[in-house]
C-alpha cells in the first residue's frame, strides 16, 4: 500500500472498524481478518489494537471479556448507541466527501478532454 493510501486510511479506519462492529461484535484479530477479507491486506494488527483502545476510551464500544481456549480472555467489542451515532455521522461525512471528490474528478477530466 502506498504512502498516500496509508494516509487516507488513517482518517477513515475508525469508521471502517465501527462499521464492521455494527454488523457483529468481534475481538481484535477477527476485526483484522475482516479488514483483510475486504481488501485491506496491509493492515497491521497493532494498528487495529491501538484503534480499539481509542474507540473504547471514547465510549463508542462496549467490551466483554470472553474466556479463550489459548491464553488470557479475549476482549470482544460491540458497537453501542454512542458508537452508532458516531458511525452515522462518519457515513454522512464520507458520502459528502466522496460526492465532492467525484464531482471534482469529473470536472477535471472533462476540462482536460476539452483542452486536448
pLDDT digits (tens, 9 = 90+) for 58-104: 999 999 999 988 889 999 999 999 999 999 999 999 999 999 999 99
Q: Please check the confidence at residue 5 and state whether its pLDDT lies above 80.
A: no
Position 14 scores a pLDDT of 95
| pLDDT confidence tier of residue 4, bands split at 50, 70 and 90 | confident
- Kindly state the cell numbers that stand for 5: 493510501
Q: Which domain holds residue 103?
A: 3-115
Q: Please check the confidence at residue 9 and state whether its pLDDT lies above 60.
A: yes
Position 1 scores a pLDDT of 56
Instruction: Determine contact, residues 22/98, Cβ cutoff 8 Å.
Output: no
Please state the domain count of the chain.
1
The domain spanning residue 7 has which CATH number?
Answer: 1.10.10.10
Residues near 14 by Cβ (< 8 Å), separated by ≥ 6?
51, 54, 55, 90
pLDDT tens profile 22-57: 999 999 999 999 999 999 888 888 999 999 999 999
Q: What is the DSSP string of the chain?
A: --HHHHHHHHHHHHHHHHHHHHHS-EEHHHHHHHHHHTT-TT--HHHHHHHHHHHHHTT-EEEEEE--SSSSPEEEEEE-HHHHHHHHHHHHHHHHHHHHHHHHHHHHHHHHHHH-
Amino acid at each position: 500500500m502506498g504512502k498516500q493510501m496509508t494516509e487516507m486510511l488513517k482518517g477513515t479506519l475508525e469508521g471502517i472498524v465501527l462499521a464492521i462492529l455494527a454488523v457483529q461484535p468481534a475481538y481484535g484479530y477477527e476485526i483484522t481478518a475482516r479488514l483483510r477479507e475486504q481488501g485491506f491486506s496491509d493492515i497491521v494488527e497493532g494498528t487495529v489494537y491501538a484503534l480499539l483502545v481509542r474507540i473504547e476510551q471514547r465510549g463508542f464500544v462496549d467490551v466483554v471479556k470472553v474466556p479463550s481456549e489459548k491464553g488470557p480472555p479475549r476482549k470482544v467489542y460491540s458497537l453501542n448507541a454512542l458508537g452508532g451515532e458516531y458511525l452515522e455521522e462518519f457515513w454522512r461525512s464520507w458520502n459528502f466527501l466522496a460526492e465532492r471528490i467525484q464531482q471534482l474528478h469529473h470536472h477535471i477530466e472533462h476540462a482536460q478532454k476539452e483542452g486536448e
